[in-house]
A and B are shown apart, each in its own frame.
Chain A
Amino acid sequence: MPASSSSGVETNYLVARISAALATDDRTHALDVRVSLNGGTVFLLGQVASEQRRLLVEAVAREVLPPDTSLVNEVCVQIFNEPTEPEMLG
């Protein structure tokens, strides 16, 4: 599809538009969620601190999606444990 068609332009810049929405939307402010487009499906990848943030990332991305575009949310919730060994530096 030529890039000059409206749907082509929409697709070409879709990843950038979703990334910008995730970074600037007041519900998310998520700058490190990776967005990719493969075969008409948008994939969200990365880690967030809570299940609520995982769902909000998906909700914000869906608001940007054009019709007939599917989305797979592969964002995970992080769990952190205490370290077992220190690093000796001097």
Chain B
Amino acid sequence: MIRVAAVGDIHVGKDTRGLFPQELEHLPDRADLLLLAGDLTQHGFGSEGKLVADTCAGISIPVVAVLGNHDYHQGQQDEIRAHLERVGVCVLEGESVTFTVGARRVGIAGVKGFGGGFTGACASEFGEDEMKGFVRHSRERAELLKERLAELSCDVRIALLHYSPIGGTLAGERLEIYPFLGSYFLGEAIDSTDTHLAVHGHAHLGTERGISRGGVHVRNVARPVIKLAYKIYCFGQPCATDQRPQLATV
């Protein structure tokens, strides 16, 4: 069995370490991997990324992360990423990683994603340069996600995002702001690549569980939504053999 823990929007700042040790006490016994779905910092400072990294350094299972819009606010996303990678966190932006857990392989492709909206209420690459740039960024992020997902050779394929690929997990948010919370481009990417699970954050007032048009499980793991330190999603039957995950490919 592959056990995937996930949480997003931990929003670490100097006033809070975000993931407190007591919140993670049983994590290594309960999960094989931890996915962090963006907005790891509150203000986007590199120093906050260092605080996240300090916490991650104490986690004994592999940690895979994407960054979120908060992590880009100061333009220090590269510094945040460097702090995380220094302690072994695998940070994905148009990239993928594969682990073996027992006899099975789990592949994770990650992008921050972007907004634009969903079928019937979405922006188009038309008009002013600013609008075209907005939609283009969303489309290009999703195309990268699709390429990385399609390349994965694994038993369980996971998309790790910050923005949402569907409207279903945004239920609870005001309908008017859906175009700022996700994009159907991401939904198309997961639906065309035999993806088993997509996890995202960003929508603090949304809903945890949803399903894409193509039947992919989508989970909004923003901490204000799950109201827990993390959630765990399992694939396959329990196995008695040693299943500690091993890094296969990056």
Which residues of A are in contact with B by a Cβ distance under 8 Å? 26, 29, 31-32, 47, 49-50, 52-53, 78, 80-83, 86-90
Contact = CB atoms under 8 A, between A and B. Distances in A.
Given A32-B204, A50-B15, A80-B23, A88 B234 contact: yes
Given A53-B15, A82-B25, A90 B235 contact: yes
Contact of A50 (B16, B43, B232): B16
B43 to A, nearest CB: 5
A78 B15 CA distance: 13
A28 to B, nearest CB: 9
B223 A80 contact: yes
B205 A32 contact: yes
B227 A80 contact: yes
Contact of B217 (A80, A86, A89): A89
B233 A87 contact: yes
Contacts of A82: 23-27, 30, 228-230
A89 B42 CA distance: 31
B70 A81 contact: no
Nearest to A77: B16
Contacts of B11: 49
B154 to A, nearest CB: 13
Contacts of A52: 15
Given A49-B11, A81-B23, A89 B233 contact: yes
Tell me the interface secondary structure of chain A in the complex.
loop
Nearest to B217: A89
Given A52-B15, A87-B232, A89-B235, A29 B205 contact: no
Contact of A86 (B3, B15, B25, B224): B3
Contacts of B235: 89-90
A45 to B, nearest CB: 11
Interface in B120-135: none
A83 B43 contact: no
Given A32-B224, A88-B234, A89-B235, A81 B229 contact: yes
A25 to B, nearest CB: 10
16 contacts: A47-B224, A49-B11, A49-B18, A49-B42, A50-B13, A50-B15, A80-B229, A81-B23, A83-B30, A83-B229, A86-B232, A89-B196, A89-B235, A90-B156, A90-B196, A90-B235
Interface string B214-245: 00010000011001111111111000000000
Nearest to B14: A52
Nearest to B12: A49
A88 B237 CA distance: 9
A83 B232 contact: yes
Nearest to A26: B43
B224 A78 contact: yes
Contacts of A83: 30, 228-232
Contacts of B234: 86-89
Nearest to A88: B234
Contacts of B161: none
A29 to B, nearest CB: 5
Among A26, A47, A50, the most chain B Cβ lie within 10 Å of the Cβ of A50
